[in-house]
Amino acid sequence: MAVPKKRTSKARRDKRRAQHDRIAAPGLVRCPNCDEWHMPHRICPSCGYYGDRRIEEIESEG
């Protein structure tokens, strides 16, 4: 069985554990059209644009 050669220092251990919960919310980008936040590689839910093209009609936009 593999056994650690050196004891992990408190700093290294705590840095590792601090990293663990950090990856939470970076799945948002700003819409280039209306500046709302939305998920990357998805159409914008507020204006219906994907990139610079209108993909889906949104009610409020006439």
Binding site residues, Zn ion, CB under 5 A? 31, 33-34, 36, 44, 47, 49
Could you tell me the smallest distance in angstroms from the CB atom of residue 28 to Zn ion?
12
Q: Which is nearer to Zn ion, 6 or 41 (CB)?
A: 41
Could you tell me the smallest distance in angstroms from the CB atom of residue 7 to Zn ion?
52
User: How many residues can be counted in the chain?
Assistant: 62
Secondary element (H or E) of residue 50:
strand 49-50
Could you tell me the smallest distance in angstroms from the CB atom of residue 2 to Zn ion?
51
Q: Are 53 and 33 in contact (CB under 8 A)?
A: no
Q: What are phi and psi of 12, to 5 degrees?
A: -65, -45
